[in-house]
Structure 1
Amino acid sequence: MADTTQISSAPTRPSALREFWYYFRENRGAVIGLYVFSALVLIAVFAGLIAPHDPTAQNRAATLLPPAWQEGGNWSYILGTDPLGRDLLSRLLYGSQLTFLVGIMVVLLASAGGIIIGLISGFAPKWVDTIIMRTMDIILSFPALLLALVLVAILGPSLINAMIAIAIAYQPHFVRLTRAAVLAERSKDYVISARVAGAGLPRLMFITVLPNCIAPIIVQAALSFSNAILDVAALGFLGMGAQPPTPEWGTMLAESREFILRAWWVVTFPGLAILITVLAINLMGDGLRDALDPKLKRS
């Protein structure tokens, strides 16, 4: 009877999700970033319902109107209008959709290719691994934005080509991270046991080893998400990304930079949108690192 009581009163291990949330919420900045990021996602999803105007509709009688609370403002245009009389708030809301679409697509393309190449490199013979990693080193020797500019110049300026170019520039980070995780895992007992049991190479790579390499990849994906938003905005600002009249935040900055001295709102609000979004994602990335890295967990 005593033994039964002892067994029933033994502490149970918390679920993985509960443990993750416990460590994640220890970082208050990460929690704030999560709330801000969630609000931005909701805004992007419901932009079509929230936006008061068509983001591409021009009103030549209302060009460069100041925000509604300033003298000369109009409450029909809460954040004012741009040089072509387009509602700034509507363009920011629709721009958030493009921003998150770009971030998601870049991370998916870069991580998918990087994980596969990293797994191959980690399990391949030494000469294949050397060729792959030296190629990645060559790509990493170029600044990501400069490499993306060159690729976009070759492919042609467009939002899709900008996403592909940035994904290629970010792929080596996922390759190196995945390879390092694979090399750390492949010598462990569970991998050796699976190999002895007759597991084939694809099963070892994708089912046995990959799930145990996910934690650092998730953190890298979060950081790449914010960097992708910055780089796409930079390409748009340089005229190599989204093309007018697409409501993309970097393109909005480029279209309005000559009016910065007499119409502060046309560059301030798109810049703030980029700043808040990137800051929220980076804060979340720090929280993910704290929650997923066993070395950073406090006992």
Structure 2
Amino acid sequence: MADASSQIARTVPTRRAGRLREFWKYFSENRGAVIGLYVFAAFAMVAIFADFLAPYDPTTQFRGSELIPPFWQEGGEWAFPLGTDAVGRDMLSRLIHGARFSFFVGIVVVVVAATGGILLGLIAGFAPKWLDTLIMRLMDIILAFPSLLLALVLVAILGPTLLNAMIAIALVLQPHYVRLTRASVINERTKDYVTAARVAGAGYLRTMFVTVLPNCLAPIIVQAALSFSTAILDAAALGFLGMGAQPPTPEWGTMLADAREFVLRAWWVVTFPGLAILVTVLAINLMGDGLRDALDPKLKRS
């Protein structure tokens, strides 16, 4: 008996290691995905250690140092490597702390949207036809509106803050998780292993969350990666329109909004936040493509 238990204990980690090796094999075939993963990892490290990496406080104003261009030497030193904005705040420090806000927005939006979407999708997949129809028609109504416009309306109702912007973006992205989860559940619930679990006496909750849900996670993980980049873009768009993070918060969209009137005579105050958004979103989308290739059995090459 003890030998059998020890054999099982050794087999489970071995299977997990084999799955990880298989995942990395297919993921690493996409060079863009690997580059995106490295850029995303760097982005996460910058967000986590922003307090140590930023040379100044992002809200500190240096009087007399307004709109200093990048790489301007003062006293033989580069006091502001990426220049300053219109009120003398260090651009590098604000970009670094902006990464923290963007990372936080992405995490919160994905967690909230995925949690609510998976629950509703599971309910719709197992519910009677009338409840399934009701849930899906509500999701269709949400999807019928342009996502940014609907987020703007929700923020206008709730109030222009970063927290309300995250709530609005999460609600707008939730229908994608509902539809994905429901489709996967309907595909899985007729399979033999689900029937066997029911015959063995598994209740609805156990069947939903233990038996079926783990086999529906692949498309949800890919959607989560893509939603992360969408959340960053939408938060930046709301911040640019004055409906997201409010000054002096060092959020990339808000930084672009503050720099609009200086675009012709101080290119750096617009270019660097725009590049930060571009590189981050592109890296996450590339990583999402790699996740799709590695997790979708139909795309795996022998």
Confirm or deny a common fold (TM above 0.5): yes
Aligned pair in 2 of structure 1 residues 181, 187: CA closer, same or farther (>3 Å)?
A: same
Aligned pair in 2 of structure 1 residues 73, 123: CA closer, same or farther (>3 Å)?
A: farther
> Distance in 2 between the 1:102 and 1:123 partners?
32
The answer to whether the 8 A contact 1:73-1:80 is kept is no
2:146 pairs, out of 120, 125, 143, with 143
Q: Which runs of 5+ in 2 are unaligned?
A: 1-13
> Distance in 2 between the 1:74 and 1:131 partners?
64
The answer to whether the 8 A contact 1:74-1:80 is kept is no
Q: Which residue of 1 aligns with 2:53?
A: 50
> Distance in 1 between the 2:147 and 2:186 partners?
26
Q: Which residue of 1 aligns with 2:6?
A: none
- 1:45 positional shift: 1.1
Q: Which residue of 2 aligns with 1:181?
A: 184
Give me the identity figure in percent.
75
The answer to whether the 8 A contact 2:229-2:285 is kept is yes
So what's the TM-score if we normalise by structure 2?
A: 0.93
So what's the TM-score if we normalise by structure 1?
A: 0.94
Aligned pair in 2 of structure 1 residues 161, 74: CA closer, same or farther (>3 Å)?
A: farther
SS class of match (2:243): coil
> Distance in 2 between the 1:265 and 1:140 partners?
37
The answer to whether the 8 A contact 1:114-1:172 is kept is yes
The answer to whether the 8 A contact 1:236-1:242 is kept is yes
- 1:197 positional shift: 1.0
1:267 pairs, out of 259, 265, 270, with 270
2:217 pairs, out of 209, 214, 219, with 214
Q: Which residue of 2 aligns with 1:232?
A: 235
- 1:196 positional shift: 1.0
> Distance in 2 between the 1:132 and 1:73 partners?
65
The answer to whether the 8 A contact 1:67-1:73 is kept is no
Aligned pair in 2 of structure 1 residues 61, 69: CA closer, same or farther (>3 Å)?
A: closer
Aligned pair in 2 of structure 1 residues 203, 297: CA closer, same or farther (>3 Å)?
A: same
Residues 154-189 of structure 1 deviation map (CA, whole Å, 9 limit, x = unaligned): 000000000000000000000000000000000000
- 1:47 positional shift: 1.0
Q: Which residue of 1 aligns with 2:124?
A: 121
- 1:69 positional shift: 5.1
How many correspondences in the alignment? 288
- 1:74 positional shift: 6.3
1:196 to 2:190 alignment: no
The answer to whether the 8 A contact 2:106-2:231 is kept is yes
- 1:71 positional shift: 10
> Distance in 2 between the 1:49 and 1:225 partners?
25
SS class of match (1:62): coil
